[in-house]
Amino acid sequence: MNKYGAEFLGTFWLVLGGCGSAVLAAAFPNVGIGLHGVSLAFGLTVLTMAFAIGHISGCHLNPAVSVGLWAGGRFPASQLLPYIVAQVLGAAVAGAVLYTIASGAAGFDVSRGFASNGYGAHSPGGYSMLAALVCEVVMTMFFLIVILGATDKRAPAGFAPIAIGLALTLIHLISIPVTNTSVNPARSTGVALFVGGWAIEQLWLFWVAPIVGAVIGAATYRAVAGEAH
């Protein structure tokens, strides 16, 4: 239960910190943090939680990461479902806290997106469903390659959280214009629940693409690195 509690708290922090920066601070008058700040915020949530709970649960914070680690031979199938449930619950509670905070400002309108992921008319840059699908698969694939490589026993010890956090920052710098960046089904679900409508209708892509990308990333790393370490 300690592992599941850690995953709940870690995913809560990821969604509150990452999506919170997008909703509350990205375009704040005069001192908005913009795309660069939001990208860094997502990376910092993973980096800080990796140091805080990595020794408890492994700090997955993401159903796609859990599936990818299982595919890479690093995680038992018996714990997949409990981990995913804990992650989605943490994301949903974070979404509720963020909604409570954001709705305290005059003029708040959840229909503007609430940091939800989308494609087509709901993509920040108007990118198609195919573009969004390819982007999410490829970004998650490389995220898993970085995770598996940085946590390999042959890698320099103690630096994995930094590499993984910076990888997530880079992923956001690349793909926010395309999908608002998911690479994490729990993160997508946590805010989509409060937007409803189109966000729920398009949520399937942000479950399917990251999980497919994670499995491809795990297979690719195993092919390059050899047996799981």
Query: In this structure, are residues 53 and 87 in contact, taking their beta carbons and an 8 Å threshold?
Result: no
Q: How many helices (H) and strands (E) does the chain have?
A: 9, 0
Query: In this structure, are residues 84 and 66 in contact, taking their beta carbons and an 8 Å threshold?
Result: yes
Query: In this structure, are residues 56 and 29 in contact, taking their beta carbons and an 8 Å threshold?
Result: no
How high is the pLDDT of residue 26?
86
> Which CATH number is correct for 2-225, 1.20.1080.10, 3.30.1360.20, 3.40.109.10, 3.40.50.510?
1.20.1080.10
How high is the pLDDT of residue 57?
95
Tokens representing 64 are 């796609």
**pLDDT digits over 14-23, tens only?**
999 999 999 9
- Please tell me the pTM assigned to this model: 0.94
Q: In the chain, what are the domain boundaries?
A: 2-225
Instruction: Please state, in angstroms and rounded to a whole number, the distance separating the CA atoms of residues 77 and 14.
Output: 24
Tokens representing 30 are 């005069």
How high is the pLDDT of residue 93?
98
How high is the pLDDT of residue 227?
61
Residue 100's CB is within 10 A of a number of other CB atoms, namely 9
Extract the residue ranges of the chain whose pLDDT is less than 70. 29, 227-229
With a CB cutoff of 8 Å and minimum separation 6, the contacts of 203 are 117, 188, 189, 192
Helices (H), 72-159: 80-102, 129-150
Instruction: Please state, in angstroms and rounded to a whole number, the distance separating the CA atoms of residues 31 and 76.
Output: 45
SS3 107: coil
Q: Element (H or E) spanning 163, and its range?
A: helix 160-179
Query: In this structure, are residues 167 and 143 in contact, taking their beta carbons and an 8 Å threshold?
Result: yes
**pLDDT digits over 145-160, tens only?**
999 999 999 998 889 9
Instruction: Please state, in angstroms and rounded to a whole number, the distance separating the CA atoms of residues 137 and 209.
Output: 5
pLDDT exceeding 90 applies to what percent of the chain?
A: 89
